[in-house]
Every structure is written in structure tokens, then in C-alpha cells.
Structure 1
Amino acid sequence: MAGPAGQAHTIDVVKLPTDRPHPLARFLLSFWAPTARSMAGWAIAAVVVNAGITVTGAAVRVTGSGLGCPTWPKCTPDSFVPVPHPEVSPINMAVEFGNRLLTFLVLAVGFACVVAAWRLVPRRRSVLLLALLQPVGIVAQALWGGLVVRTMLNPFTVGMHFLLSTGLIAASWMLYRRASEGDGPARDLVHRDLRRLGHVLVAAVFALIVAGVVVTGTGPHSGDVLASRFDLDIEDMARLHADLVYLVVGLTFALLLALRVSDAPRPARRAALALLVIELAQGVIGYTQYFLAVPAFLVGLHVLGSTLVWIATLRTVTSLRARGAPPAEARPSPAEMAATA
């Protein structure tokens, strides 16, 4: 007797041989056969690693390891890797060399962004140009790091090193936004005056970061006892920095209030609220470190906070406009690939 008729398999229940369930295969395909989603994922990875190396760079400074590797590109005059040196602590050498090694991770993510942008179908010029900024900026940052060492941690070169990282974070975030949206003209999601307020906020936050760099170059935690300092009054610089904090918090509160009153899209309101919370937490850290005579741990935490404020500011401003969905992929589906095999 014939048994019950079996249900015909459909494409939804049959795993095609073209599927790649293995994690390594998915990882490789994320940049070799990218989608808009995986391209955005690599951009977010670039944001994370650039922010991470910024924070670890601060750790190098507050631990006094700025000249842990006293030469560049070598760690010591006769070796690219740490070796015992009579004038350098092994711990300081390990901290500085570890930060140098992180550059290769950041560079690898940058190259992955370029490959993904180049292989994206359809290829998008704006995404590719932003992706190319990653390895170019990282190489420039590494070369500038060599200048930092060769100038014995001059506060100007150290400060520019931090600001270059700030620029790379901004480029990474814009790469993420462009990969997540279409190529049409930007469409305002809020009143144009609120967009302008957002641009003013970005400028104010950047000015705040520059002021923080000057304060750092004037105060303690230079990275090494041999490092020079800006010939400025630390109290005056700290007051200027605090004044800019008040300005940034005021602008953020005004933007958040205006977004709520105008019934702006929820993502924009949530981004502005998150920014305000991060700024207030950063302010608490800043005042605490000031009254506790600037302990090293809180300085590192403050650098982390400033990096998060910068990212949250970029997120807030870019949430005020949209360009639609990214272009549909022209890559054939697994079913089409199987049918033509």
C-alpha cells in the first residue's frame, strides 16, 4: 500500500549547497561578497577600533609609557619588538608596544572596509571614497605617531595625534551612515533651523575636544618625565574647558527640547537624549577628577567619555536627515544561482 504523500520541499525548507553556514565563510563573505548590511557592519567595526585605539593611547599617556618604545619605527634602537632596555621599564615598554600592535588591527578593519566597498553591488562612489579614508588616515596616523616619539612627546604633536583619531572616528561614522542609506539628496526630517542647531552643536563639541587637548597638554600625565608642556596657566585652561562644557550641554538641551516640542522622529529624539546623558556623565567625571587632583584612572575614563560624546554627537546630527534606503542588490539570489548551475 502506498503511504501518505509527502509534502514537497520548498526553497524555504531546503538548504541549498550555495548557503555558507560556517562562521569563517560568513566572515569572509561579509567583505568579499558584501551586502549593504555587512558594509555597515564593517563601518561600525571601524568606529569601534578607532575609538578603542584612541582610549588605549590615553592609557599609554597616563601610565607614563609614552616613550616605552623610545624609537620609531623600531621599539628600541636595535629591535622592532620589546627587548630589555636599561633605561625603560618593561611594563611601560609592553604598554606602548601593545598600543602600536593595535594599529595593525585598525588597519586590517580599514582594508576590510575598502574591499567591501569595492565589491559592493552596485558599487557606490560615496561609500568607496569614505572607505578609502580609513587605511589612508590610519597610515597617516601611524606616521604621525612616529613624529610624536621623535619629538619626545611634544604636547602639540600629542594633541594632533588625538585630533587625527577624532577625524578618523568621524569618517568611520559617516561611512556607516552612507552605507545604511541611499544615494539620493538629503531630506530633512526636522525643521532646517534644527539642522543648523545640530551643525552648531558639532562645532561646539569639536571646540570642546580641542580645549580638552590643550588642558591635557598643559597639565600632568604627559606620558613621560622628559615630555614638555604647554606654557599656559592650567587654571585658565580648565575654566575655558568648563565654559565650553556649559555651552555644549546647553545646546544639546535646547536641541532635545526643540525636537520634542516639534514632534521630531523618535530616533532623533532618542539620539539627542542619549547624547545629553553621556555629556552629564562626562561632566561628573571631569569635575571629580579636577577635585581629586587628576588621578590617572579618571583621566583615562574622561578620554573614553569624550570619545563617546563625539560619537553620540555625530549620531544625533546625522539622525536629523535621511536619504532613503540603500540601493537594492544586483547580486543573484541562491535560488537563481542554483537554477543556473
Structure 2
Amino acid sequence: MKVPTDHPNPLVRSLLSPWAPTAASFRAWALASVAANAGITVSGAAVRVTGSGLGCPTWPRCTPDSFVPVPHPEVAMANMLVEFGNRLVTFLVLAVGVACVLSALRLAPRRRSLLGLALLQPLGVLAQALWGGLVVRSMLNPFTVAVHFLISIALVAACWMLYQRTREGDGPIRRVVHRDIRRLGHVLIAAVSVLLLAGVVVTGTGPHSGDVLASRFDLDIESVVRLHADIAYLVVGLSFALAFALHVTDAPRTARRAALALLGIELLQGVIGYVQYFLAVPAFLVGLHVLGATLVWIFALRAVTALRVRGPVEKAPAPSPTEVAAVH
């Protein structure tokens, strides 16, 4: 069946573009997947800070008798709508992931590296949805909630790498900075990963559990907050070191700007963190802090991938007449 891809409406053309993708349209869908997976972390935070974690008390249905919100004697409709809205966002993320897979399949010539990264998206969404059912059935156990967030963070990383790979070839990696600076970038990524892990521990210990029935980590909140802040200082220090090293070595402008952008996002995130702490963790700032954490992760990935490039696959040189004669 031929699908028309020359529709006069640009929105329709965009939606049909996975059937006849170009490098530019594929890149746009990959970037959309980064945004969509970042967005679901924020919608998940909204579920938690509004106390709507059990707004739909069953899974996969919203209530025992319905897949969509209906009046329930034990759950407020507002909480039900918030939780159901988060479930609907999952379908948006899945749709974008399917568009990336279709683009990878239809792209000519097909690139196996892009197809593999694209397939991670619908598979990850499926894993996330199944784990979400476990979150509900465990009554928002903080461990299951933490893993739920971390799966999203892993998907964001996969989506970013897909976006990055759509902008480059499949040739071998070539670093554009000194080897030790690239190693510093890898250490930075590891530190940001630990920072996110510490953040979910703080979340699982703090006041916004998602529902009054949810359990909490049996930890001292002051201690875990201090640990989280100490790791954040380490991350900021490493980011400053990366930006400084790139500046003094006259690294490519793309790498320098990416490192400075990361440092700026981290400083803003630090301000939000301290303000929410001194204001007794208001719900709005908690959601904003989750958005900031996701952006720090994305900008860290951007900064590190800016330290290397991939060119096109190098073709082997044609054999000389002498070599051909020797073979025969």
C-alpha cells in the first residue's frame, strides 16, 4: 500500500515521514523521543507530588471494572485523572518509539546501528509499563518507584544515543580532545549516574510518597540529603574541570559550549534544590527538581558525546593490478 508523504499539511507530512524517512526527519523523531521520555519523568513526578500514585488502584485497568477513570468510593476523581493521564503519556512515548523504529527500517540505506537503538525504545516502554504494574501492586514500594524512574533515565540515554548517531556516520570513533579529557567525561557520566541514584533514595525517604498508604525507606532524611548534596558538589566540580580543560586546550566550540551548558543547568538545579529544602519541599519545586535532574542527565550525555565524532565508514582501497594478478 502506498502511503502519501507529500500532503500539503506540514503536520500530516511529519506524521507520515517515518514511512519515507530522510536523515533529517529521522533525526527529528529521535530528538522527539528524548523529549517524550524526559516528559514522562515529569508526569510521573506530578503523580507522586499530588498524592495520585494509587489514583488508579489496579493495573492494567484503572479500576477493577474499567480501563478508564470512573467514580470510585475510595479514590478522588482528581487523583484518578492525574494517574490515568500519566498512563496515557506512555502511549505517546510508545508512538514516538514506533515512529523511530519504522524510520530505521525504511531508511535507505538501512543502518543496523540505528535500528538496534530504535528497537530499545518500544522494548523499554513495554518494560516500563510492566514495571509500572508492579509499582501499583506493591502499593508504591519506594524501591519499585525508584526503579521505575531509573528505567526512564536509561531510556533517555538510549534515545540520546540514537539522536547522536543520526547526526554521524558508522565509522570508528575518533576523539576530538585529549585522551585524558575524554576519560574525565566518562568519570563525569558515572558521577551523574550516582547522583541520580542518590536522588531516588532521597525521594524514597522524603515526604512525597505518592499516597498515604505508601511505605518509605527507613533512613534518616537529613543524612541522605547531605549525601545527595555532597555528590552534587562533586558533579559540579567535575563539570567545571571539564569546561576548564576544554577551554585551555582550545577544544572544538561544540564541546566547549556543551560543557558550559551542562554547568549552567547544574547550577540552576542546585538553586532549585536548596530553595525546595528551605521551603519544606513544596510539591511544585519537587516536580521542577525532577525536570532539572532529567535535564542534567541529558546535558551530561550531550557534553560527553561532543568529545568524539564518527565519520562515514571508510571504504577499503581498490586492489592494484599487481595484487589482482597475484590472486589469480
Q: What band does the TM-score fall into relative to the shorter chain?
A: over 0.9
Is 1:110 paired with 2:97?
Answer: yes
Q: What CA deviation, in whole Å up to 9, does each residue of 1:63-99 have, x standing for no partner?
A: 0000000000000011111010011011000000011
Show the counterpart of 2:228.
241
Show the counterpart of 2:300.
313
Instruction: Flag the 1:287–1:77 CA change in 2: closer, same or farther, 3 A.
Output: same
Q: Provide the identity percentage.
A: 77
Is 1:268 paired with 2:255?
Answer: yes
Q: Distance in 2 between matches of 1:214 and 1:28?
A: 39
Shift of 1:289: 0.7
Is 1:250 paired with 2:241?
Answer: no
Where do 1:223-238 residues align within 5 Å?
223-238=210-225
Name the aligned partner's letter for residue 205 of structure 1: V
Whether the 8 Å CA contact 2:5–2:16 is kept in 1: the answer is no
Q: Distance in 2 between matches of 1:50 and 1:20?
A: 28
Show the counterpart of 2:73.
86
Q: What CA deviation, in whole Å up to 9, does each residue of 1:98-140 have, x standing for no partner?
A: 1101111110000000000000111001100000000000010
Show the counterpart of 2:326.
none
Instruction: Flag the 1:121–1:211 CA change in 2: closer, same or farther, 3 A.
Output: same
The equivalent position to 2:265 in structure 1, one of 275, 278, 281, is 278
Q: Secondary structure at the match of 1:322?
A: strand
Q: Distance in 1 between matches of 2:24 and 2:169?
A: 12
Name the aligned partner's letter for residue 137 of structure 2: R
Q: Distance in 2 between matches of 1:230 and 1:265?
A: 45
Q: Distance in 1 between matches of 2:237 and 2:10?
A: 46
Q: Distance in 2 between matches of 1:310 and 1:19?
A: 37
Is 1:124 paired with 2:102?
Answer: no
Whether the 8 Å CA contact 1:49–1:106 is kept in 2: the answer is yes
Whether the 8 Å CA contact 1:180–1:325 is kept in 2: the answer is no
Alignment gaps of 5+ in structure 2: 315-328
Q: Distance in 1 between matches of 2:15 and 2:193?
A: 36
Shift of 1:36: 1.3
Q: Distance in 1 between matches of 2:105 and 2:298?
A: 26
Whether the 8 Å CA contact 1:181–1:326 is kept in 2: the answer is no
Show the counterpart of 1:336.
none
Deviates further, 40-49 or 316-325: 316-325
Name the aligned partner's letter for residue 158 of structure 1: V
Name the aligned partner's letter for residue 314 of structure 1: L
Quick check: which has more Rg, 1 or 2? Answer: 1
Name the aligned partner's letter for residue 95 of structure 2: A
TM-score (norm 2): 0.92
Where do 1:128-147 residues align within 5 Å?
128-147=115-134
Show the counterpart of 1:322.
309
Q: What CA deviation, in whole Å up to 9, does each residue of 1:269-320 have, x standing for no partner?
A: 0000000000000000001111111111110000000000000000000000
Whether the 8 Å CA contact 2:168–2:311 is kept in 1: the answer is yes
Show the counterpart of 1:182.
169
TM-score (norm 1): 0.89
Is 1:96 paired with 2:83?
Answer: yes
Shift of 1:24: 4.9
How many matched pairs?
A: 311
Show the counterpart of 1:172.
159
Q: Distance in 1 between matches of 2:70 and 2:13?
A: 39
Name the aligned partner's letter for residue 209 of structure 2: S
Show the counterpart of 2:285.
298
Show the counterpart of 1:70.
57
Alignment gaps of 5+ in structure 1: 1-16, 328-341
Instruction: Flag the 1:24–1:252 CA change in 2: closer, same or farther, 3 A.
Output: closer
Q: Distance in 2 between matches of 1:36 and 1:308?
A: 25
Q: Secondary structure at the match of 2:116?
A: helix
Q: Distance in 2 between matches of 1:313 and 1:28?
A: 30
Show the counterpart of 2:142.
155
Instruction: Flag the 1:183–1:94 CA change in 2: closer, same or farther, 3 A.
Output: same
Deviates further, 19-28 or 91-100: 19-28
Whether the 8 Å CA contact 1:208–1:241 is kept in 2: the answer is yes
